[in-house]
Amino acid sequence: MNSSLRLASRPGGWPDDAPPRSACFGLSPEGCSGDTLEDLRSYFRRLSAHHGMLPWTFAFRAIAPLLGGRHFDSRRHIAKDCYGLAICGITDLAARWSNALNLLTLRHDLERHTLRPLGSMLSPYKLLSRCERFCPACYAQDDRSNNPKYNRLLWLIDCVKACPIHGMRLKQIPTPKIGDGEAFWLPGSSRVDGSNLARDVAEEAYPEEIKFAWLVVDLLEDCQLRPDAFLGSPAIPTFLSHASASLFGGIAATFAAELGISKGEFHGWMTGEVHPSLHWIVLMAYCCNCRVSDVLLGNTPAVFWTGRPRNLDYRLVNKKRKGASAPTSVLIANFEQLITSGRVRCLQEAADTLDVSVKFLHKIAPDHSTRLIENGKDYQKDAAKANGDAKFSEFLSSHTRLRTKGPYASRRLVVADVRERTGLTFGFRQACEFQRRANRMAGIAE
């Protein structure tokens, strides 16, 4: 811990018994129930906005020193975590971030805005969504009630596909093109053009997806109400034995078949050697008509079989790929044709097109795969260069326009002008470099 950062102080002249002031604003997190609780990343973004800083800068200056970042590079490395969802997950990273934010704001409850309280119960496998998602109707509701728009903890859990309140399927936050990803907006604003995501439209969700979401909401609420119960190890084998005896006469193989899983994997769950992912745990609770916390804590409630959800199979079983049934020579020929025609730019795209896994493709055609990976790197470089050129063109345009109005077009004015005209943003180093280039082109001395 860096002791040079003052976390709490008392303004001069205040009485000695006055409470100390926190280093950062003591912003209150939003939401209090399982379906409305704000996630830590969203809280952090709003807090940084209150301090007038971009989240990365705020993380670099305030969080990284508390997490042991003594040098510039290590602080940069730590600050990068502010972009990921892992700071809201179940790992030590979430604990460290919530602890640091607690210290800065003199709060003590920020860990409950992560999945950390369920850390000893859940497997990290497929727990967090791979992308940021949102419900437009929830954002619209925030707008109508004059509250800040914020992201719900529920939305970042992978097996939750729908907003349980509005019955809408969660939408993926639009991501900017390669090279434009530095901008990091407040929750509820598009990272592409800054537009209000509350105006977006979502599809109606299946009833099973909504039920799944409510089951996870119940789990979050159970954890809030009885945190001590979730401190130990999961007791899933106890529940499985109970459900197997109650529903299938103690025949585990039938239970496994009804759930749609192999006997071997189910045996691993029964012995406690393997922890199922949250997807499977929620499916068990759904099929047995009980709560997710019953499965995790090894409770023995009355259960009855409701059957597998019809519309969710595609999310709960491993993806069945049919491409591998074709002869290897045909697959390799098709793969080569994809590369030469330029239809695919990375190995994942090729694997998806051929309906095989990336691992399988790499195994049958290692040379082609390596070639495609190299091509992908070149493509990314070209795309980043083209993007940089386009941004400089806009920068130069604003620079020229502002010079005609006043004696000197400062970097800040130019950046603000480009942002207002196009929504483009610049990193500090990039803006400095563009300013130097534009000045040189205009014949202005450094």
Interface residues with Zn ion (CB under 5 A) are 135, 137-138, 163, 165-166
Of 142 and 336, CB closest to Zn ion: 142
Of 35 and 394, CB closest to Zn ion: 35
Give 331's DSSP letter. Answer: H
Biggest CA pair distance of the chain = 87
Find, among 84, 187, 188, the residue nearest to 130 by Cα: 84
Of 167 and 376, CB closest to Zn ion: 167
**Residue 382 neighbours by CB under 8 Å, 6+ apart:** none
Query: What would the two tokens of residue 114 be?
Result: 């992560």
Find, among 52, 150, 120, 78, the residue nearest to 297 by Cα: 120
Find, among 220, 216, 213, 111, the residue nearest to 166 by Cα: 213
CB of 141 to Zn ion, least distance (A): 7
Query: What would the two tokens of residue 64 be?
Result: 């990284």
Of 49 and 137, CB closest to Zn ion: 137
d(CA 198, CA 190): 10
Please report the beta strands in 309-425, taking only residues with DSSP state E, as ranges in sequence order: none
Of 134 and 269, CB closest to Zn ion: 134
CB of 36 to Zn ion, least distance (A): 9
CB of 144 to Zn ion, least distance (A): 12
CB of 9 to Zn ion, least distance (A): 41
Phi and psi at 415, nearest 5°, equal -60, -45
Of 127 and 154, CB closest to Zn ion: 154
Of 135 and 288, CB closest to Zn ion: 135
Check if the beta carbon of residue 152 is closer than 8 Å to that of residue 39: yes
CB of 57 to Zn ion, least distance (A): 31
CB of 162 to Zn ion, least distance (A): 9
Start-to-end Cα distance in the chain? 40
d(CA 59, CA 347): 34
CB of 136 to Zn ion, least distance (A): 8
Of 37 and 94, CB closest to Zn ion: 37
Check if the beta carbon of residue 421 is closer than 8 Å to that of residue 405: no
CB of 166 to Zn ion, least distance (A): 4
Give 8's DSSP letter. Answer: E
Cα angle value 126/132/135 (rounded, 5°): 110
CB of 117 to Zn ion, least distance (A): 23
Of 22 and 141, CB closest to Zn ion: 141
Kindly write down the DSSP assignment for every residue of 238-291, as one continuous string.
HHHHHHHHHHHTT-HHHHHHHHT--HHHHHHHHHTSSPPPHHHHHHHHHHHTS-
